[in-house]
Amino acid sequence: MLAALGFATIAVLLLVTMTKRASVLVALILLPVLAALIGGFASDLGELTLGGLSKVAPTGIMIAFAVLYFSLMVDAGLFDPLIRALLRAAQGDPLRITVATAVLTLCVALDGDGASTFLITVSALLPVYKRLGMNPLVLSGVVCLGAGVMNMVPWGGPTVRAMAALKLDSSEVFNPVLPAMGFGVAWVLVASYLLGRRERNRLGALSPPGPATDVRQVEDKPDDREPVASTAAAAAEPSRQATATTADGQEPQALRSPGDGPGAVRVPPLPRTWLNIFNLLLTITLVVCLIQEVLPLPVLFVLGFAIAVLVNHPTWEQQQALLDKHAKSVVLVTTMIFAAGVLTGILTGTKMIDEMAEAFISVVPDSFGSHLPVVVAVTGMPLSLVFTPDAYYFGVLPVLAETANGFGTDPAEVARAAILGQMTTGFPLSPLTASTFILVGMSGVSLGEHQRFIFRWALTTTLVMTAGALVTGAFSL
């Protein structure tokens, strides 16, 4: 009963979000609540919901201040040199930008933390995509592919769980699939090339025929982040040069401010080089502290934002304007995080997840026993949409490994197969992981659009790595 209710909840959630019958926020909250009521957990509903919210609270706090921090840095122009370098290297070519996105994601994701990967890469690259008119789904999709493969690293969540659940070490689980991971990285680069070529053709079809745009022209365009004084002066320029008509209808006279006549030289505001250097050093320090886990992630971002806003916007009015400007982005992302907490809290607290794991195992035919590693590898990515990482690796994987062991298959092979897809290539699409909502929220796309756009590419990544694992002997057919 509970297993069927859990599977039905996940199925309806995916259906309504992918078909846009309801917002993800509403579905994440109301569907599990309805399932809990149907399952007879009405008296425990408050405790279950609060438990889920409490578990994701640190993530929600981290995301709120991380979004504010990186939004401040984008406004301050921290990523402008990177944007200009990418534009110069890509020469305005969407294909090169897409491949560069994959390379950057593969490098940043080495820390094994999806949340920080999405925050850094999307913050840096979204302005480039907007400036060139590229589809933000390409950005979220390529970042999803790169982060998914790199989540296999030994310090990443899925591999750590697989080793802990089966009491294995890295040399038994990760080292044998390292060549397969190389296949996955190669496929991510190929997929980014194909997506980039498609995006280049789309933009070429939308653009009227004419001379190609020089990347230097794109770089020289006025920046949206002009100082307030300059913007106000530019806006006031027409009014200063307008003609004033007197009440008695006399000849109008031009109104001019001193020094703005023909031939006057406009002096741009001096660049705040010291502030740019400070922001760069602060961001590098923050990233190093994140990797080294000097303090909990929420604390690091709270402190980092407080320092950054004090230095960049020292007055109360400036700080309030910054918060007003980015409040919408913060609310959109953090509410998704807490809504996901409601879902996972109810599914876990009611033991629906445990029952779903047992039901899944019970339907695996005995004839698949000797082929379980391949079955686990191929199904791992789609099952990321159904099982939380803890439920799969601590609930499903041990039983599958024991079953395989009964057929003479090394349990380590099942663990290797699992990390080829389960919450690796699948985690940036799953509604059960909070970091997914960071990716889609910061990219400005909906979860359903993101899933429809990149699902088959992510599944192909798992299939490519599965083939690579078979070829290199990580597990047998």
Is residue 210's pLDDT more than 50? no
Return the half-sphere exposure (C-beta side, CA atoms, 13 A cut-off) of residue 97. Answer: 29
Q: Is 452 strand, coil or helix? A: helix
Given its phi and psi angles, is residue 251 left (phi above 0), alpha (psi -120 to 50 degrees) or beta?
Answer: beta
Bigger pLDDT: 238 or 277? 277
Instruction: Indicate the pTM of the whole model.
Output: 0.68
Both tokens of 383, joined, read 């099952």
What are the backbone angles phi and psi of residue 227, rounded to the nearest 5°?
-60, 150
Handedness of CA 442, 443, 445, 446 (dihedral sign): negative
Q: Tell me the C-alpha distance between 351 and 353, whole Å.
A: 5
The count of other CB atoms within 10 Å of the CB of residue 227 is 11
Mean pLDDT, residues 207-226: 46
- Side chain identity, residue 39: G
Q: Tell me the C-alpha distance between 235 and 229, whole Å.
A: 10
Average pLDDT, the chain: 80
The per-residue pLDDT for range 431-457, each reduced to its tens digit, is 888 789 889 988 989 988 999 999 999
pLDDT of residue 218: 43
Mean pLDDT, residues 452-476: 94
Given its phi and psi angles, is residue 366 left (phi above 0), alpha (psi -120 to 50 degrees) or beta?
Answer: alpha
Bigger pLDDT: 161 or 303? 303
Bigger pLDDT: 192 or 261? 192
Cβ atoms of 428 and 144 within 8 Å: the answer is yes
The per-residue pLDDT for range 221-245, each reduced to its tens digit, is 444 443 333 333 333 333 333 334 4
Is residue 211's pLDDT more than 50? no
pLDDT of residue 272: 66
The per-residue pLDDT for range 109-144, each reduced to its tens digit, is 876 778 778 888 898 889 889 988 999 999 999 999
